[in-house]
Amino acid sequence: MSPRIALGVGVLLASLACQPTPEPPKKAPSSEKSRYFGGAPDGKLHVYFFDVGAGEAALIVSPSGNTVLVDSGPATAESHLVNRLPELLRRELDLVVLTHPDPKHHGALDAVLKRVGARRLLEPQLPDTSSAYDALLGAVGSRGVQVFSPASSANLPQESVRLQLEDEVNLTVLWPRAPATPLLKGASDAEGRNAANSIVLRLTYRNTSVLFAGAARAETEEVLLKNGLLGNATLLKVASPGVAGANSQGFLEEVRPQGAVFSMDEGLGRDAKVRDVLTRYKGVGTKAFRTDVNGEMHAVSDGKQFELVLQRPTPGEPFASRRVVFPGVDPRPALVKTVKPPPPVVKPPEPPPVAKVEPVPARGTPPGRGSEGIEVDDLPSAPGGGKTAAAPPVKKTSTSPVSGAYVASRKRGLFHLARCKKGAKQIHDENRVYFTTREEAAKEHMPAKDCNP
């Protein structure tokens, strides 16, 4: 059986027993052969950074052939991706990660999934998403794709959620970290708040690593620095190069990638703010590569080094410059940092829970699917015949407005936004029940029509 992805929180709980799962129905061989054209796994980690203009799309292929699509690009990339992805895949995608509910990150998703399929989808589950994005997730879930969100275990609330693709290959969710750490609310508009709370991932394979910064903004970088969640990365998928404040000097000095990949079109490439960002990267000794100049990029790691292959060399450079090697152990001299890192955040002790609410499916999840992450019992065996157990269920509480974004009355069947000045304010204190997510509230209540929760 082919190995699949297993979910862990902080550390993998490999000692938990797993029950055998019935084999899924097999498709006709002729259909499978005509759908996917990728080659056999070669024992190396592959990361493809697609040229999708001013959007985001990258494919991870593990040494054993497990696959993760990080964002699916804008709608204008549909034609390219539905033709390019089958050339690289041998079966449906194991996981799709939507880092940000913005069309530049998910516009081509529907077409991509119709063409190549997927088993799981990870998304940040933010409160201010558009109706079009919510409808997209609902449609994805109705097709049998399990939709889930990164949520730390109640037993290890401060540990990062870790997705193990296989032995020594891990994806760690650095942000968001709800409910242990509240979402960022500094931006004045929903688009800015969603970008600041987009998923930030760190991919590691032995001595090599890639940081996928999602759509991180200045406030995202600041909280990651404060919590000591960043570190040197071999490669960086750059976020928000044209947004003021993003890619700060402190962030660049802390990550200090050897190579940085910019996904942009010609218009963004002429932006003065982007040129300033490129200058800052050069100042910390990072080689920058742009999809509008270099086209698609293919990074290959043997665990000791990354070799980055460019579709096109940078103008004025020899053809041989298409291949650049980045050692896993950074050979550059230590950087004298000009920005002092902010002091670490000291978290107050968590109050004891008052009530326990059973976990509920995430948005778009079909009935019978959980939201705690990838269900190991539903996966084929890992290499060597063993299985890796999933994280324990997330325990959710109803205590105070701090712990929930939604509120309901124990005596009525409706729920409201906690900040709503209409129905929510009319509930007596002794009857109030708070929920962290909309899915929790919808399990036992219907949405009220006052504030459109």
Residue 296 burial by Cβ neighbours in a 10 Å radius (0-12, 13-18, 19+): middle
Q: Which CATH architecture has domain 398-453?
A: 3-Layer(aba) Sandwich (3.40)
Whether the Cβ atoms of residue 1 and residue 66 lie closer than 8 Å to each other: no
Q: How far apart are CA 404 and CA 276, in angstroms?
A: 40
CATH of 6-327 among 3.60.15.10, 3.90.226.10, 3.40.50.1220, 3.40.50.1980: 3.60.15.10
Q: What is the DSSP letter of 227?
A: T
Percent of all residues in the chain with a pLDDT value above 70, rounded to a whole number: 78
Tell me the average pLDDT across 33-37: 78
- Same fold flag, 6-327 and 398-453: no
Tell me the average pLDDT across 396-411: 57
Residue 218: how many other CB atoms lie within 10 Å: 18
Nearest Cα residue to 272 out of 236, 314, 244, 237: 244
Q: What tokens does 359 get?
A: 């976990």
User: Over 90: is that where the pLDDT of 205 sits?
Assistant: yes
Whether the Cβ atoms of residue 293 and residue 315 lie closer than 8 Å to each other: yes
Secondary structure of 302-369 in the HEC alphabet? CCCEEEEEECCCCCCCCHHHHEEEEECCCCCCCCCCCCCCCCCCCCCCCCCCCCEECCCCCCCCCCCC
User: Over 60: is that where the pLDDT of 237 sits?
Assistant: yes
Is the backbone of residue 264 left (phi > 0), alpha (psi -120 to 50) or beta?
Answer: beta
Q: How far apart are CA 326 and CA 236, in angstroms?
A: 12
Ordered alpha helix ranges (H), 143-245 = 190-196, 218-226
b (16+ CB within 10 A) / e for 119-143: bbbbbbbbbebeeebeebbeebbee
pLDDT tens digits, 341-389: 777 665 555 555 443 333 334 444 443 333 333 332 333 333 333 333 3
User: Over 60: is that where the pLDDT of 250 sits?
Assistant: yes
Q: How far apart are CA 307 and CA 323, in angstroms?
A: 7
Nearest Cα residue to 342 out of 196, 218, 259: 218
* CA-derived radius of gyration, the chain: 22
Q: For 9-23, 102-116, 343-357, which range has the lowest pLDDT when averaged over its residues?
A: 9-23
Give the torsion through C-alpha atoms of 261, 266, 272, 275, to 10 deg: 30
Q: How far apart are CA 224 and CA 201, in angstroms?
A: 12
Q: For 55-69, 143-157, 287-301, which range has the lowest pLDDT when averaged over its residues?
A: 143-157
Whether the Cβ atoms of residue 120 and residue 67 lie closer than 8 Å to each other: no
Q: Which pLDDT belongs to residue 365?
A: 41
Q: For 14-23, 58-67, 177-186, which range has the lowest pLDDT when averaged over its residues?
A: 14-23
Q: Which pLDDT belongs to residue 404?
A: 58
Q: Which residues contact 250 (CB under 8 A, 6 or more apart)?
A: 221, 225, 337, 339, 341, 342
Residue 355 burial by Cβ neighbours in a 10 Å radius (0-12, 13-18, 19+): exposed
Map tokens 């960043």 to a residue: 230
Whether the Cβ atoms of residue 149 and residue 124 lie closer than 8 Å to each other: yes
Which sequence spans correspond to the domains of the chain? 6-327, 398-453
pLDDT tens digits, 113-129: 999 999 999 999 999 99
